[in-house]
Amino acid sequence: MTNRTEIMIFVLVVLVLFSALFSSIETAFSSVNKIRLRNNANDGNREAEGCLKLLSDYDRLLSTVLIGNNIVNIAAATLGTLIFTAFFNDKGPTVSTIVMTIVVLIFGEITPKSIAKEMPEKFCMRTWKFVRFLEVLFAPLNWLFSGWKVLVRKLVHVDEDDSDIADELITMVDEAEKEGDLEAHESDLISAAIEFNDLDVKDVLTPRVDIVAVDIASPNQNIEKVFRMNSFSRLPVYENSIDNIVGVIHEKDFYNLYYQEEGPIRRIIKPVVYTSPNIKISTLLKQLQKAKLHLAVVLDEYGGTQGIITMEDIIEELVGEIWDEHDTVREYYKKIDDHTYLVRCDADIDDMFERFGVREPDEEYDFITVSGWVIHELDRIPQAGEKFHFENLDVEVTKADQRKVLEIKVQIHPGDEAEQEDE
């Protein structure tokens, strides 16, 4: 083996090492967590700041790394051919192709990318100066390729990605929970916060038929009985009709009035906020906070009462149901066996679909509760005993009255669900 051959082997090893370096840099910068980098940068970490500057022009960064990686890989393949030809004569190119392919795949691609994937932030912060130097070195080539990309974009029309960033964030949260980075309750809280701005008042309100309210002209004894029977801290007050809610009375104020026998309740009525069913609950929450009130009346398009919504209702969309010692805990789902449930029909339909693995219909629907869904599917208010099939569910109405469905029995078919997922 001559000195010239030894030098070529040494250079070949260096080229493979550079190939590994470029591959690890590509993987590290493509998978790095920008939030962690930004947190480090806010703490004064200059390396993190440098990485963020490079990532701000990711196309230029990627072009630089790919140019460097291709240069060293092509040089390594050429040099390998010369070396193996010196040893194997005519068979040299064939042997070189086999050996260099294996070497570059294992040591120049797979191994460094696997390592960089495990600690992308460290790789980025340790190599950002080298990448910055290469960006300056390859500036003419980057300029040429940038012009080429502009030309390609004009020739090939690419539809813009209209994906919702909120959906992407929820997917990230789900992945973090699966990987053990987040507890289930943390994941639920973050997901609820992300979806909070998407909820309208109509999605959360207590409907008109379920409102417990008192007439302003009712005797105090009757009002006291309503407080005692329902354990509410506040009651809406209407005049003549539930469509004319004039305010709300607080339990503490009422009992002070009641025991001191100081007359009718007009003097203790507090104002309420009037709102529309299509307003976002995040907007309504700010209105309630500003007015220092806890209850809003939801009006329909004709000015009548569609329902009420409290600050507690809104907060529960973030943190889940809030129960106190006076509340009766509602069980919306009663398990009969592994595939059969009794479902209260005032349960949220989206929650039921998610719980039972049902794909939501593509069409927009106006109903919010399971009762509304059953009536929509049967196109009428059904009677107990009526059945229908939906996706992977067999549904039977078990309780109903003249106005709505009260309870259904749902039987889940896992086989049907699996078939739908495979389609």
For 289-335, the pLDDT digits (tens) are 999 999 999 998 888 999 999 988 888 887 776 655 555 556 788 88
Higher pLDDT, 171 or 218: 218
Do 201-319 and 333-422 come out as alike in CATH topology? no
pLDDT in tens, 275-293: 999 899 989 999 999 999 9
CA nearest to 126, candidates 71, 59, 48, 196: 48
pLDDT in tens, 11-45: 999 999 999 999 999 999 888 888 888 888 888 88
Q: Is the pLDDT of residue 420 over 50?
A: no
The pLDDT mean for the chain works out to: 84
pLDDT in tens, 203-249: 888 888 888 999 998 998 999 999 988 878 899 999 989 999 999 99
pLDDT in tens, 57-110: 888 888 889 999 999 999 999 998 888 888 888 888 888 889 889 988 999 889
Q: What is the pTM of this model?
A: 0.55
Output the pLDDT for position 326.
Answer: 52
In CATH terms, the fold of domain 333-422 is: 3.30.465
* pLDDT over 70, % of the chain: 91
Instruction: Report yes or no: 127 and 28 within 8 Å, Cβ to Cβ.
Output: yes
Which residue is associated with the tokens 């910055």? 132
Q: Is the pLDDT of residue 349 over 60?
A: yes
What SS3 state is found at 259? helix
Output the pLDDT for position 365.
Answer: 73
Distance CA 22, CA 66 (A): 8
Q: Is the pLDDT of residue 423 over 50?
A: no
Q: Tell me the domain boundaries of the chain.
A: 3-155, 165-198, 201-319, 333-422
Distance, first Cα to last Cα, the chain: 61
CA nearest to 168, candidates 187, 189, 194: 194
In CATH terms, the fold of domain 201-319 is: CBS-domain (3.10.580)
Q: Which long-range contacts (CB under 8 A, 24 or more apart) does 105-111 make?
A: 107/16, 107/19, 107/20, 108/16, 108/19, 108/20, 108/23, 108/73, 108/76, 109/19, 109/20, 109/23, 111/20
Q: State mean pLDDT over 147-157.
A: 76
